[in-house]
Amino acid sequence: MDFNKKNLEYVLEDATYLQDEIEALKYVIQEVPFDEKPGGVESIIEMIALIDHAQLQFYRPILEEIKSNNRPDFKKINPDFKNTFEFEMKEGESVEKVLDRIIKHRAALINIANSIPVITWQKKVTINHRDKSLFQIMQEMIQFERAQLKKVADRVMALGKEKQQK
């Protein structure tokens, strides 16, 4: 997708849409074994929490750095967020609280994104020896999140089919 103001609005709407998706999950997640790891793969809650981790450890710091500095420094930002991810629900924490925290973090990211001038979205940044525009980075975030949410939906559907067969 080429950069223009309309496409930027579309990407930001997609980023906001995640809040709605997570909110909707709050109503179905209790109906499925959200913490089971079938075959040793990640659980549903881990798939969702990885979205939040990526946002907090990679995407949001990039936005904050660009917004606050004329000469952004991305040396402290680790683009390999998948390998730094570890999820453990805190004792006494409900899945709803985890989802609420993710929604709150997304709202903060959207506020930062909306405050960045349109011209800045075309600015090239170098992360992990690759040049990308801020707009391209946000597109990658959306693609990653869609893939994660698709994995969640696939797992929920598979669990639903299992339940029907029993």
Report the pLDDT value the prediction gives residue 74, as an integer from 0 to 100: 77
Q: Are 55 and 90 in contact (CB under 8 A)?
A: no
Q: What is the per-residue pLDDT across 6-20, written as a single tens digit (0 to 9) for each?
A: 999 999 999 998 888
Region of 39 on the Ramachandran plot (φ > 0 left; ψ -120 to 50 alpha; else beta): left
- For 1, residues 6+ apart whose C-beta sits below 8 A from its C-beta are 7, 10, 11, 139
The average pLDDT across 80-103 equals: 87
Residue among 143, 122, 142, 144 nearest 133 (CA)? 122
Output the six-digit token pair for 35: 């913490």
Of 135, 147, 149, 146, nearest in space to 11 by CA:
135
Give the range of the structural domain holding residue 28, as residue numbers without chain letter. Answer: 5-84+93-165
pLDDT the model gives residue 105: 92
What pLDDT does residue 58 have? 93
Q: Give the global pTM.
A: 0.87
Query: Structural domain tally of the chain?
Result: 1
Residue 113's domain is classified under what CATH number? 1.20.120.450
* Residue 56 banded pLDDT, cuts 50, 70, 90: very high
List, in sequence order, every residue forming a beta bridge with 133; answer none if it has no partner.
124
Note the pLDDT tens digit of each residue in 12-51.
Answer: 999 998 888 888 888 887 778 888 888 888 998 899 999 9
Report yes or no: 81 and 58 within 8 Å, Cβ to Cβ. Answer: yes
With tokens 């997570």, the residue in question is 22
| pLDDT tens digits, one per residue of 123-165 | 888 887 888 899 999 999 999 998 998 998 888 888 878 777 8
**HSE value, Cβ hemisphere, 13 Å, CA-based, for 43:** 15
